[in-house]
Structure 1
Amino acid sequence: MLPILLLCLLVSSSHAADFCVADLTGPETPSGYQCKKESAVTADDFVITGLGVPGNFSTMFKAAPKTAFVAQFPGLNGLGISAAYVYYAPGGFIPVHSHPAGTELLVVTEGTLLAGFISSANNPYYKTLNKGDAMVFPQGLLHFQVNVGETTAVGVVGFSSPSPGIQVTSPALFSNNLPSAVVEKVTYLDDAEVKKLKKMLGGTG
């Protein structure tokens, strides 16, 4: 009788830990969202649609990323993965940025991309990628992609976190109210260049 009882306990406890669908009505914490009640979970929580349809291309970057992070895809909560599709018009690019909470794996499915990252020792690693090629960008390191082909390029991206975060270098410096004098000091740029970039990216100060 005791072995059967233990087996029942093991089955019920493993079932309870199958998943933790995000309750998006609450706050996101460093460990993720709280779990939605299982009675409220549906198959839709584990499905996301529309990634294969390009969104609006940024006029500045000529690129259109479509993310499947936990905020758009609640079933990812706690699973350590997320994804994105990125569309790059000819000449389009994703500027230098980092993902503080996740490693990125890029697979090129259409077109040609120049992609790379910069190590913490300031060594650049970059390569021209064609259809079927892949490149990994280690967590937290600055990286970029540029469409160097003549047609739209497409990349399918995977992350090692349901919410990898993103910080784009240029907006971080020039799209806020950090005083120009401070920006000039920490970037070696002159006042005219800083003011020009702040105006371009919506910053003040």
Structure 2
Amino acid sequence: MSSNASLLLITVVALILSAHAADPDITSDFIVPPGTTLNADFFTFRGFRGSLMGKPREGSFLVTKASKVEFPALDGQSVSLAVLQFPPRGLNPPHTHPRSAELLMVLQGTLKVGFVDSNNKLYTQLLYKGDVFVFPKGLVHFQANVDLTYPAVAISAFGSANAGTVSLPKTLFGSGIYQWFGSGIHQWILAQSFKTDVGTTKKLVAANSA
């Protein structure tokens, strides 16, 4: 294969992969699941009412999503929302969204947020009510309520009907029993990767597999 042909093939593959990384375009105004009664209720989501009032259970971070799973009218529309509720000292651990950037706005309280870029540089900010922060697509990021007394609430917008969430602690340490032929990453691989010992990784596995 000539160098020009190879370059063309690589370009085509890259375009195909980039196309599949985003929500596909639809050829109709909207997508209606079979058996659905089509009226204004189909385009209405009421699941955030409780999330915007009060606070989550003490000691727990809570997210309420309006993706195409919870709100089928979003299928094909390339948008979704999530409401994040943080108790005092509540944390949304480091995670990524493989299919979308995230635009977060604080509605109540304060949040410490941050992300790490592909050059391993950390960007952090303390956000107050009304502040907006963007987490670039696919990068590891977190949010935390560092206040000891007051809860915090934020709303996040995504450019995908199903942005996906990959939680790093759960993915690395909660993927199953760590045996050679099991479903998870072997203990010694985790221990060496994180420059620690197998005893420590066992504790992390137990905590994230519960």
Query: Scaled by the length of structure 1, what TM-score is found?
Result: 0.78
Identity, in percent, stands at 33
**Secondary structure in 2 matching 1:106:** strand
Partner of 1:186: 193
**Secondary structure in 2 matching 1:51:** coil
Query: Where do residues 156-175 of structure 1 align in structure 2 (5 Å cutoff)?
Result: 156-175=155-174
Picking from 32, 44, 48, the partner of 1:47 is: 44
How many residue pairs align between the two structures? 172
**Does 1:132 pair with 2:143?**
no
**Secondary structure in 2 matching 1:144:** strand
Contact 2:56 2:87 in 1 (8 A): no
Residue by residue, what CA displacement relative to the aligned partner does 1:90-115 show, whole Å, maximum 9, x if unpaired? 00010000000111000000000000
Letter in 1 for 2:30: F
Residue by residue, what CA displacement relative to the aligned partner does 1:115-160 show, whole Å, maximum 9, x if unpaired? 0111011111110000000100011000000002231100011001
- CA distance in 2 between counterparts of 1:135 and 1:63 reads 19
Partner of 2:31: 20
Contact 1:116 1:126 in 2 (8 A): yes
CA RMSD between the two structures: 1.9
Query: Scaled by the length of structure 2, what TM-score is found?
Result: 0.76
- CA distance in 2 between counterparts of 1:40 and 1:52 reads 23
Query: Where do residues 75-86 of structure 1 align in structure 2 (5 Å cutoff)?
Result: 75-86=73-84
Partner of 1:118: 116
Gaps of 5+ in 1: 1-15, 24-35
- CA distance in 2 between counterparts of 1:155 and 1:182 reads 37
- CA distance in 2 between counterparts of 1:133 and 1:56 reads 21
Letter in 1 for 2:169: S
Instruction: Please identify runs of 4+ aligned residues in structure 1 that moved more than 3 A.
Output: 54-59
Letter in 1 for 2:165: I
- CA distance in 1 between counterparts of 2:197 and 2:128 reads 38
Contact 1:52 1:85 in 2 (8 A): no
